[in-house]
Amino acid sequence: MKAVVQSEYGSAEVLKLQVIDRPEIGEHDVLVRVGAASVNPGDWAIMNGLPYIARPAPLYGLRKPRHGVRGTDVAGVVDAVGTGVTRFRPGDEVFGWCRGSFAEYAAASEERLALKPANLSFKQAAAVPMAGTVALQALRDHGNVQPGQKVLVNGASGGIGTFAVQIAKSLGAEVTGVCSSASLELVSSIGADHVIDYTKEDFTRNGERYDFILDNAAKLPLSSLRRALTPQGMLVPNGGGFEHRWVASGGRLIGAMVSFRFVSQSLGRFLVAQKHEDLTTLAEMIEAGEIRPVIDRTYSLADTPQAVEHMERGHPRGKVVIAVDQIAAGGETGTTHD
């Protein structure tokens, strides 16, 4: 099969289109013929081997990644199933989390897949798993967001942000989206009640207070973010840069944990959990028309390095998608702007 493979850590130029064996599947695994994949900041991090402190972890490797194919988000067709698989059979259209979706075939645990929403293409479905799940878990599980509450999403135009705005609206919140000038219209169009252009206004200094802030950007000091919270409000410090190559945003998170111990506001720090139940919830919300994935650009498998570089520049409007299979992806594999 064709796959985009890396044999060393580095920037996107380490990604090479090669022909390799299809992945083997275990007893509870599914082999997915990949229709489309999408790119996440985590793919960029593992590609670069950052932060260094993560290299002993199973997903990484000390000198090069243990698994050479990047890509977690997948949508495609079940090609084969392990002997213990009960939830899927060949031919099912699925989406979810896998090991190496920048390839024509990828292996996934059946526990990390769900049936693809009927009203989405493979490209749209591939945009959902990581970003949709992070937004859902942040707002529903950690924030316990209730109707009428005031929610602010900083970084509202990116992969997670575009889902977060819509999910917060579906939970009945009054939603403020913060983004750059170029994305104001997009963030309004997905339902934000208020939009703030961070290049013109600092939302932490305008006197407004929010019950819940999801910060996907990590550009503002924690003390400023706290100032924009109500006395019982919650901050989820979701984003983090890699300016510090050893620990990335680890220092900021430790600082947040310490400072929030002394205030009435709370901190909703979390690492996303890959659960098929949440994929099913997202599929139901999509089929009910409550939320929809926003796709910025679509690239071909051969152009995966450019897709990763586009996301790396830091201003995607929604998700960056890779259309892998010509038939499953509806015949489009060139670079397009959706």
Ligand X SMILES: NC(=O)c1ccc[n+]([C@@H]2O[C@H](COP(=O)([O-])OP(=O)(O)OC[C@H]3O[C@@H](n4cnc5c(N)ncnc54)[C@H](OP(=O)(O)O)[C@@H]3O)[C@@H](O)[C@H]2O)c1
CB of 52 or CB of 270, closer to ligand X: 270
CB of 135 to ligand X, least distance (A): 9
Q: Are 201 and 176 in contact (CB under 8 A)?
A: no
Using the contact rule CB under 6 A, the part of the chain among 27-35, 63-71, 93-101, 232-240 near ligand X is 232-240
User: x/- string (CB under 6 A) for ligand X, residues 97-126?
Assistant: ------------------------------
**Near ligand X by CB under 6 A, which window of 40-48, 101-109, 120-128, 142-150?**
40-48
Of 234, 238, 239, residue with least CA distance to 267: 234
* CA 75 to mean position of chain CA atoms: 14
How far is Cα 160 from Cα 37, in angstroms, rounded to an integer? 16
The upper half-sphere exposure of residue 138, i.e. CA atoms within 13 Å in the direction of its Cβ, equals: 31
Range in contact with ligand X (rule: CB under 6 A) among 6-14, 37-45, 120-128, 274-282 = 37-45
In angstroms, give the least distance from the CB of 192 to ligand X.
Answer: 12
* Segment interacting with ligand X (CB under 6 A) among 91-99, 106-114, 129-137, 205-213: 129-137
Contact between 161 and ligand X by CB under 6 A: the answer reads: yes
Beta strands in the chain (DSSP E): 2-5, 16-19, 29-38, 73-81, 93-97, 105-109, 113-115, 150-154, 174-179, 194-197, 210-215, 229-237, 266-267, 295-300, 319-323, 336-337
Chain residue at closest Cβ approach to ligand X: 158
Cβ–Cβ contacts within 10 Å for residue 209, how many? 13
CA distance 164 to 176: 11
C-alpha separations of 228 from 113, 152, 307 in Å:
38, 9, 35
Could you write out the DSSP letters of every residue in 136-182? HIIIIIIS---TT-EEEEESTTSHHHHHHHHHHHHTT-EEEEEE-GG
Which residue in 217, 225, 286, 307 binds ligand X (CB under 6 A)?
Answer: 217
305 binding ligand X? (CB under 6 A): no
The burial of 333, by beta-carbon neighbours within 10 Å (0-12 exposed, 13-18 middle, 19 or more buried), is given as buried
Q: Is 184 in the site for ligand X (CB under 6 A)?
A: no
Shortest distance, position 56 Cβ to ligand X, whole Å: 19
3-state secondary structure of 48: helix
The answer to the question of residue 131 lying near ligand X (CB under 6 A) is yes
Which of residues 157 and 170 has its CB atom nearest to ligand X in the complex? 157
Assess 251 for contact with ligand X (CB under 6 A).
no
Q: Is 314 in the site for ligand X (CB under 6 A)?
A: yes
- Contact with ligand X (CB under 6 A) among 38, 170, 183, 298: 183
Q: Does 180 bind ligand X (CB under 6 A)?
A: yes
Q: Which chain residues interact with ligand X by CB under 6 A?
A: 40-42, 130-131, 134, 154-155, 157-161, 178-180, 183, 198, 216-217, 219, 238-240, 270-272, 311, 314-316
